[in-house]
Amino acid sequence: MGWSAYSTPTPHNNAPAAFPGRMRAYPAMRAYPAMTKVVRSITPVIRAVDTRTTKLPPKQIEPIYNSPQYIAWRAEITSRAGRRCEARDEHGRRCTKAWPEHRVYADHIVELKDGGQPFDINNGMVLCASHHERKTFRVRVQRLKR
Ligand SMILES: [Zn+2]
pLDDT per position as a tens digit, 75-94? 999 999 999 999 999 999 99
Distance from residue 146's CA to the centre of ligand 1 (Å) = 27
Q: What is the pTM of this model?
A: 0.58
Residues (pLDDT < 70) of the chain are 1-61
**CA–CA gap between residue 67 and residue 107 (Å, rounded):** 16
Cα 102–chain centre separation: 23
Can you give the pLDDT at residue 11?
47
β-pair type (124-128, 104-108): antiparallel
**CA–CA gap between residue 89 and residue 72 (Å, rounded):** 29
Distance from residue 89's CA to the centre of ligand 1 (Å) = 9
What single-letter amino acid sits at 138?
R
Can you give the pLDDT at residue 36?
45
> Dihedral of CA 15/21/26/31: which sign?
positive
HSE-CB of 21 using CA atoms within 13 angstroms:
7
Can you give the pLDDT at residue 60?
66
Can you give the pLDDT at residue 146?
83
Can you give the pLDDT at residue 1?
46
Distance from residue 67's CA to the centre of ligand 1 (Å) = 26
Buried b (16+ CB within 10 A) or exposed e, 63-92: eeeeeeebeebbeebbeebebbbbbeeeee
Distance from residue 143's CA to the centre of ligand 1 (Å) = 22
Distance from residue 33's CA to the centre of ligand 1 (Å) = 52
Distance from residue 69's CA to the centre of ligand 1 (Å) = 25
Can you give the pLDDT at residue 58?
67
Residue 110 has what DSSP assignment? S
